[in-house]
Structure 1
Amino acid sequence: MSIGSWLTRVRDQRPLVHNITNLVVTNVAANTLLALGASPVMAYAHEEVADMASIAKSLALNLGTLDPEIVVAMRLASTAANRTGVPIVLDPVGAGATPYRTRAAQEIIDGHQLAILRGNASEIGILTGAGGSVVGVDAGQASEHLIDAMRAFATEHRTVVVATGPRDLVTDGQAVWELANGHPHLAAITGSGCSLTAVIGAFVGTVDTCDPHLYAEAAIAAVTCFNVAAERAAAHAAGPGSFQVALLDALYHITPEQIDEAARVRTL
């Protein structure tokens, strides 16, 4: 299956993505999913998160603005998702910045089966044991041992690990892929990484079986689609403000053929 054909799957199936995300980017993530062709829902109440996760096609968790109520909601939703075979994407925003964030991410990882763990290189390095540094919720220095640690973590936890940055890395524990699309403007707007997590949720939501290799293919396609759209948006943007609008337009208009033509993916 080509990378671009995954976008066709998303648009044809219009998967419902249950997001428990941070307060800063709720609207941005929802609009990103709508522009892509997926269906977003934001449900946080303890009384309904398990029910919502059970009927969704994927569950996207984002630790950006944590509080105890949100952490409990994530655990309830994750338990329901595992019970019903709904894939979970975890974005451990700021893991390593404070003990609370690191502990919250680790408890979700230890207590539930993830389909995808997606963070910046520093967050992923800290959670996989490679080391790294985080400044607030931004990446600091990544570890030179990141790739080996990602592969070992993916194998141990039967999951796919995605580390994003100047180069994006994806592994299912066997192969490791490097993705080279994207644009610097993504680092200049709020919520680009958080929106990408939601996009990954849409792509893995089209996978019918709990197969780490298929989840890896879906993650590669999601990251590439988002980053190629960013490249196209940047060509029409005067700066970060207009880029954010142009990115939604680019996701709405982009075609599978454009993605396949522009994709820069290689196996390491």
Structure 2
Amino acid sequence: MTTPNAALQSLRTQAPLVHCITNYVAMNVAANVVLAAGASPAMLHATEEIADFVPVAGALTINIGTLSAPWVEAMTKAAEAANASAKPWVFDPVAHFATPYRARVAQDLLDLQPTIIRGNASEILALAGEGAAGKGADSGDSVPAAKGAAIHLAKEHGAVVAVTGETDFVTDGTRHAEISGGDAMMPKVTALGCSLTALIGAYAAICTPMDATIAALTHFSEAGARAGPGTNGPGSFAVAFLDQLAAIAPGDLDEVRVTWH
């Protein structure tokens, strides 16, 4: 098992390249989060270069926030290339229950067996075929309500599943962990959840899927907890959050409690 502190040390030493196919809203935020944490983001989605680029990257992340047919083709090709080259990939099924088109795309990508799935409680519940109360990209369900769905998805698809919220829940179907921390301001800053997916990809490039997910969530929640005091609102929090992601050093992450079940 790689601890969050050891994972952060490796991230800073190796600065892995992360291929992020994400949405228009999140691109800048996600790239800055990955850079601040210590990795190297690549935000590209042209189908003409997917097959060449995916094997070069340490990991791939796919976020379906702003879909279009060319992007769906690129996502599919990227996931297939990641599987073919044995590269880990992270799936973020943003608001996949909102329209039939999004639901089909999400199911098709899920069938390509992502290494890690990250979503809010409503997204994870719906992805497992259960009823959910989400509104757009916002969750209407609690993390505890989605634990069973997360375990089911993990077992069925052989993936690590993260349900993020006030207290995060991570499972590989057998082992389960909860990560506390963060700040109440985090849901008020657009694309922080999407950028967390990118950060999970960065850690997945340098350690096992379960360890990577826990390390990313721990790093993220600690940065949020440190950024909150002294900020005046979402704008100042967003800047402080990036600063704290960069300022956190290996050894600092013991301050965030990870509870195993």
User: What TM-score, normalized to structure 2?
Assistant: 0.96
> What are the residue-to-residue correspondences of 1:8-23 with 2, within 5 Å?
8-23=9-24
> What are the residue-to-residue correspondences of 1:1-268 with 2, within 5 Å?
1-110=2-111, 112-142=112-142, 146-207=146-207, 214-260=208-254, 262-268=255-261
Residues 46 and 72 of structure 1 are in contact (CA less than 8 Å); yes or no, is this contact kept in structure 2?
Answer: yes
What SS is found at the alignment partner of 2:215?
helix
What is the deviation of 1:245?
0.5
Residues 78 and 88 of structure 1 are in contact (CA less than 8 Å); yes or no, is this contact kept in structure 2?
Answer: yes
TM-aligned CA distance change 1:265 to 1:98, over 3 Å:
same
What is the deviation of 1:107?
0.5
Identify unmatched segments of 5+ residues in structure 1.
208-213
Identify unmatched segments of 5+ residues in structure 2.
none
What SS is found at the alignment partner of 1:48?
helix
Over 6 Å off, 4+ runs:
none
TM-aligned CA distance change 1:191 to 1:205, over 3 Å:
same
Alpha-carbon distance between aligned partners in 1 of 2:76 and 2:103, rounded to the nearest angstrom: 15
Alpha-carbon distance between aligned partners in 1 of 2:258 and 2:74, rounded to the nearest angstrom: 36
Could you tell me which amino acid in structure 2 is paired with residue 267 of structure 1?
W
Percent identity between the aligned chains? 46
TM-aligned CA distance change 1:202 to 1:241, over 3 Å:
same
Q: Whose strand proportion is higher, 1 or 2?
A: 1
- Cα deviation, 1:56-80, whole Å, max 9, x if unaligned, reads 0000111111111111100011111
- Cα deviation, 1:213-235, whole Å, max 9, x if unaligned, reads x3111101100101101111112
Alpha-carbon distance between aligned partners in 2 of 1:117 and 1:6, rounded to the nearest angstrom: 19
User: What TM-score, normalized to structure 1?
Assistant: 0.93
**Matched residue count:** 260
Q: CA RMSD in A?
A: 1.3
